[in-house]
């Protein structure tokens, strides 16, 4: 161990009994006590924080200040030491409450994707129920806090300014190392209601877990900071506007319909493929909880690494979100609470297919490929190709009715040719895209070309989940580009029998990508030039 940790508990005399419990939970850390110097004065955490942050023990490399209304996890000291070893220069906030609009969302993002540590938003107050700073920084903070009158009360707001001005990263462990008490506040915060941690679990965490990757910039879209909220049974978007100064907790947020597009996910994407809602929720509540869960999944960078703890922490982060986010009447309805948690989990999984690293990049690559395919020169001679039509449920459409007449009459049949084109009965292929098939085959390649819809149908029949379907589809289209292997996928959109464009066939689970795909395709074709 390369550090020495100084520990204090700042407290109000009315909480003296609880302080002894916290000191016991700190062991083997030896916590010293810092009492409010004016307990009968105006309630002010800032007043006691000035003293607590200045009480750094001689020889300490780091200083921990705990407040008097927390409960610590088992093995607290070992976890704090492990975090300091891994992040010696950071401010480490040991727990985040669900009333923190931006930071609670960042913790949820880390929780559902298995990141052990998340970087908190620099524009929101620093959660200070338990906070670690390097010793020199702690002394600087004490001096900084002493420049403000006690009546400004909120030490966490001043600490946020202090850290932001000095570019000190504020990190939080996920799961948390402490939770908040439900006792009445002595600092005048009862108007916030019950305030509990976002991601607190009972499962044992190995101290080595904290060596995992930090979620550095979780909630930004094209430089815009945001949070997805579930408040009063409504899903809303909170935006950090760079050109306008607004309080982090201001209540004037944006409803997800239609404003989810501001963070890169159109309303149609959220609604596409949503299954029938559980009866316990009702349509309105189900739509809001689904949107919240879907957006959380879709807007969270994927960590790739799976650990059993990820499932436990993610589930708790969802449960705390729903618990805090439902109106009391909705939460009290028979079965609604548990149904909403399960529904949010289902929405999260659906949204993950669209998350960075889980789908969007693949879809954009496929749009670029289709643009290239559309611009390939038509072959001078049409090759012979076998045509195989696969059934599409009970659909009895005739895909051949929309194929190029000359090719169909002279070179496309169910018997001729060394190569095969497989399509589904419920899609219409646009003629221009088929020029790429002709170009591929006249270049000497032999094998089977599937349409996207045919490939998706085959992969789903094999039981592949949607994120893996997109990955496999992307790879199959790459093989078409490189003429690599006997089975490839044509990088081309199609239409439904009624003429509606569909980028990957008539599959509801993929319909949400249509706007993004079409915009990228048109941009590529226009940018390349005809």
Do 322 and 179 fall into the same domain?
Answer: no
List b or e across 99-114, with b for residues whose CB sees 16 or more CB atoms inside 10 angstroms.
bbbbbbbbbbbbbbbb
| Residue 374 parent element (H or E) | helix 360-374
Q: What is the domain count for the chain?
A: 3
Do 155 and 263 fall into the same domain?
Answer: no
CATH of the domain at 51: 3.90.550.10
Q: Quick: pLDDT tens for 170-184.
A: 999 999 999 986 554
Confidence (pLDDT) at 452: 92
Do 313 and 455 fall into the same domain?
Answer: no
Contacts with 101 (C-beta within 8 Å, 6 or more apart), sequence order: 124, 227, 229, 238, 248, 249
Domain encompassing residue 409? 359-527
Q: Quick: pLDDT tens for 257-276.
A: 999 988 888 888 888 768 88
Do 194 and 69 fall into the same domain?
Answer: yes
Do 19 and 3 fall into the same domain?
Answer: yes
Q: Across residues 302-330, what is the average pLDDT?
A: 85
- Nearest-5° Cα angle at 327, 331 to 340: 45
Confidence (pLDDT) at 316: 94
Tokens of 364: 């954009």
pTM of the model: 0.72
Do 414 and 500 fall into the same domain?
Answer: yes
Confidence (pLDDT) at 432: 85
d(CA 530, CA 525): 7
Q: Quick: pLDDT tens for 420-446.
A: 999 888 888 888 888 888 889 888 999
Confidence (pLDDT) at 149: 93
Q: Quick: pLDDT tens for 465-520.
A: 666 788 889 999 999 999 999 999 999 988 887 778 888 876 666 766 777 788 88
Do 225 and 144 fall into the same domain?
Answer: no
Q: Across residues 308-337, what is the average pLDDT?
A: 87
Do 463 and 522 fall into the same domain?
Answer: yes
Do 63 and 180 fall into the same domain?
Answer: yes
């Amino acid at each position: 161990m390369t550090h020495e940790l100084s520990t204090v508990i700042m407290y109000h005399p009315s909480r003296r009994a609880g302080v002894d419990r916290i000191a016991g939970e700190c062991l083997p850390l030896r916590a010293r006590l810092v009492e409010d110097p004016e307990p009968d004065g105006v309630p002010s955490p800032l007043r006691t924080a000035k003293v607590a942050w200045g009480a750094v023990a001689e020889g300490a490399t780091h200083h921990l200040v705990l407040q008097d209304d927390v409960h610590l996890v088992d093995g607290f000291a070992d976890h704090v030491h492990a975090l300091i070893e891994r992040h010696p220069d950071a401010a480490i906030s040991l727990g985040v409450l669900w009333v923190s609009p931006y930071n609670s969302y960042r913790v949820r993002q880390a929780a559902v994707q298995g990141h052990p540590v998340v970087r908190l938003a620099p524009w929101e107050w620093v959660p200070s129920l338990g906070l670690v700073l390097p010793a020199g920084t702690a002394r600087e903070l004490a001096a900084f806090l002493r420049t403000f009158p006690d009546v400004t009360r909120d030490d966490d707001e001043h600490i946020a300014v202090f850290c932001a001005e000095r570019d000190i990263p504020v990190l939080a462990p996920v799961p948390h190392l402490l939770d908040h008490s439900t006792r009445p506040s002595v600092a005048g915060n009862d108007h916030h209601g019950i305030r509990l941690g976002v991601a607190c679990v009972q499962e044992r965490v190995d101290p080595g877990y904290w060596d995992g990757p930090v979620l550095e910039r979780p909630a930004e879209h094209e430089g815009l900071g945001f949070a997805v909220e579930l408040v009063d049974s409504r899903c809303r978007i909170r935006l950090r506007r760079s050109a306008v100064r607004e309080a982090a907790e201001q209540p004037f947020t944006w409803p997800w319909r239609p404003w989810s597009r501001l963070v890169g996910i159109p309303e149609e994407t959220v609604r596409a493929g949503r299954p029938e809602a559980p009866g316990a929720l009702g349509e309105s509540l189900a739509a809001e909880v689904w949107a919240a869960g879907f957006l959380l999944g879709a807007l969270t960078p994927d960590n790739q690494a799976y650990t059993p703890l990820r499932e436990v922490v993610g589930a708790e982060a969802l449960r705390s979100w729903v618990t805090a986010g439902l109106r009391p009447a909705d939460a009290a309805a028979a079965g609604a609470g548990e149904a909403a948690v399960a529904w949010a989990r289902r929405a999260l999984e659906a949204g993950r297919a669209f998350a960075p690293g889980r789908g969007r990049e693949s879809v954009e690559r496929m749009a670029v490929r289709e643009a290239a395919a559309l611009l390939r020169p038509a072959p001078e001679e049409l090759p012979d190709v076998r045509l195989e039509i696969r059934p599409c449920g009970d659909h009895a459409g005739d895909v051949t009715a929309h194929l190029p007449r000359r090719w169909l009459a002279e070179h496309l049949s169910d018997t001729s040719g060394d190569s095969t084109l497989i399509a589904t009965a419920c899609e219409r292929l646009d003629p221009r895209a088929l020029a790429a098939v002709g170009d591929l085959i006249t270049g000497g390649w032999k094998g089977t070309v599937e349409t996207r819809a045919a490939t998706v149908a085959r992969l789903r029949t094999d039981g592949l989940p949607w994120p893996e379907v997109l990955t496999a589809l992307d790879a199959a289209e790459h093989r078409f580009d490189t003429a690599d292997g006997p089975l490839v996928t044509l990088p081309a959109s199609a239409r439904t029998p009624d003429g509606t464009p569909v980028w990957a066939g008539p599959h509801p689970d993929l319909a949400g990508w249509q706007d993004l795909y079409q915009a990228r395709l048109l941009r590529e074709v226009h940018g390349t030039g005809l």
